[in-house]
Amino acid sequence: MSHELRTPLNGILGYAQILRRDKNLEQRQADGIAVIQRSGEHLLAIINDILDMAKIEVGKVDLYLSDVLLERFIYFIAGTIRLKATEKGLAFSCDMAPELPAAVRVDEKRLRQVLLNLLSNAIKFTETGSVRLRVDWAPPTRLRFEVQDTGIGIEEAHRETIFRPFEQVSDARHRVGGMGLGLAISRQLVRLMGGEIHVESRRGAGSAFWFELDVPAVAREAADVPLEWTASGYHGPRKTILVVDDVAANRAVVVDMLAPLGFEMAEAGNGLEALQKAEALRPSLILMDVVMPGMDGLEATRRLREMPEFARLPIVAVSAGASGSDAAKSLAAGANAMLSKPVDLTVLLSQIAVLLDLEWSDDTPHEAHGPAIRIAGSFTDNFIVPPHEEMEALHYLARLGDMRAIVQHTEHLTELDERYRPFADHLCQLAKHYRSQAIVSFVEQYRGAHGAD
Cα separation, 410 vs 423, in Å, equals 9
* Three-state SS at 319: strand
Q: Which of 149, 326 has the CB closer to ligand ADP?
A: 149
Q: Which of 204, 422 has the CB closer to ligand ADP?
A: 204
Distances (CA, A) of 64 to 86, 111, 223: 33, 11, 14
Q: Are 442 and 425 in contact (CB under 8 A)?
A: no
CB of 108 to ligand ADP, least distance (A): 21
Closest listed residue to residue 44, CA positions, set 12, 77, 20 = 12
| Number of other CB atoms surrounding residue 125 within 10 Å | 19
Q: Which residue is nearest to ligand ADP (CB)?
A: 178
CB of 152 to ligand ADP, least distance (A): 5
Q: Which of 125, 442 has the CB closer to ligand ADP?
A: 125
Cα separation, 126 vs 450, in Å, equals 33
Q: Are 258 and 241 in contact (CB under 8 A)?
A: yes
**CA pseudo-torsion sign 451, 389, 419, 35:** positive
Q: Are 319 and 340 in contact (CB under 8 A)?
A: yes
Q: Does the footprint of ligand ADP cover residue 340 (CB under 6 A)?
A: no
Closest listed residue to residue 83, CA positions, set 94, 92, 74 = 92
Q: Does the footprint of ligand ADP cover residue 262 (CB under 6 A)?
A: no
Give the interface segment with ligand ADP, choosing from 164-172, 340-348, 372-380, 414-422 (CB under 6 A).
164-172
SS3 content of the chain, % helix, strand, coil (to 5): 50, 15, 35
Q: Does the footprint of ligand ADP cover residue 182 (CB under 6 A)?
A: yes
Closest listed residue to residue 288, CA positions, set 253, 249, 329, 243 = 243
Q: Does the footprint of ligand ADP cover residue 179 (CB under 6 A)?
A: yes
Of 80, 113, 121, 437, which lies in the binding site for ligand ADP, with binding defined by CB under 6 A?
121
Q: Does the footprint of ligand ADP cover residue 178 (CB under 6 A)?
A: yes
Chain positions 144 to 163 lying near ligand ADP, rule: CB under 6 A, are 149, 151-154, 162
Of 125, 210, 234, 442, which lies in the binding site for ligand ADP, with binding defined by CB under 6 A?
125
Cα separation, 163 vs 117, in Å, equals 12
Q: Does the footprint of ligand ADP cover residue 208 (CB under 6 A)?
A: no
CB of 177 to ligand ADP, least distance (A): 7
Q: Does the footprint of ligand ADP cover residue 170 (CB under 6 A)?
A: yes
Chain positions 414 to 443 lying near ligand ADP, rule: CB under 6 A, are none
Cα separation, 227 vs 430, in Å, equals 17
Q: Which of 172, 368 has the CB closer to ligand ADP?
A: 172
Q: Which of 118, 349 has the CB closer to ligand ADP?
A: 118
Q: Does the footprint of ligand ADP cover residue 360 (CB under 6 A)?
A: no
| 264-268 and 285-289 strand pairing | unpaired
| Number of other CB atoms surrounding residue 171 within 10 Å | 8
Q: Does the footprint of ligand ADP cover residue 133 (CB under 6 A)?
A: no
Of 33, 122, 337, 393, which lies in the binding site for ligand ADP, with binding defined by CB under 6 A?
122
Query: Site for ligand ADP (CB under 6 A): how many residues?
Result: 23
CB of 103 to ligand ADP, least distance (A): 29
Of 10, 113, 207, 364, which lies in the binding site for ligand ADP, with binding defined by CB under 6 A?
207
Question: Taking CB under 6 A as the rule, which mask of x and - marks residues 78-117 in contact with ligand ADP?
Answer: ---------------------------------------x
Q: Are 318 and 288 in contact (CB under 8 A)?
A: yes
Query: Which residues make up the interface to ligand ADP (CB under 6 A)?
Result: 117, 121-122, 125, 149, 151-154, 162, 167-170, 175, 178-184, 207
